[in-house]
Amino acid sequence: MRGLKRDRTARVIVAGHGFVRNLRRGFYNLGTDVPPTARLADAFGELAVAI
């Protein structure tokens, strides 16, 4: 059987999806110094350095 088998897995996927949507829309101060088309890639680069 494929799909989300546990509630925790579904919560993680939904939270990640919401985070990426908010990044693309510019609701966070990550990736704000680049064009909107490259914002997601730049934000993940900034997150990698912070972690």
26 falls within a domain: yes
Angstrom distance (rounded) from CA 51 to CA 46: 9
Q: Is residue 24, in this structure, part of any structural domain at all?
A: yes
In a domain, 39, yes or no: yes
Examine the pLDDT at 14 and tell me if it is beyond 90.
Answer: yes
Sign of CA dihedral 13, 18, 7, 47: positive
Percent of the chain with pLDDT over 70: 98
pTM above 0.75, yes or no: no
Domain count, the chain: 1
Flag whether 1 is in a domain. no
- Identify the domain containing residue 41 by its residue range: 7-50
In-domain check, residue 18: yes
Would you say residue 2 lies in a domain?
A: no
pLDDT value of residue 1: 60
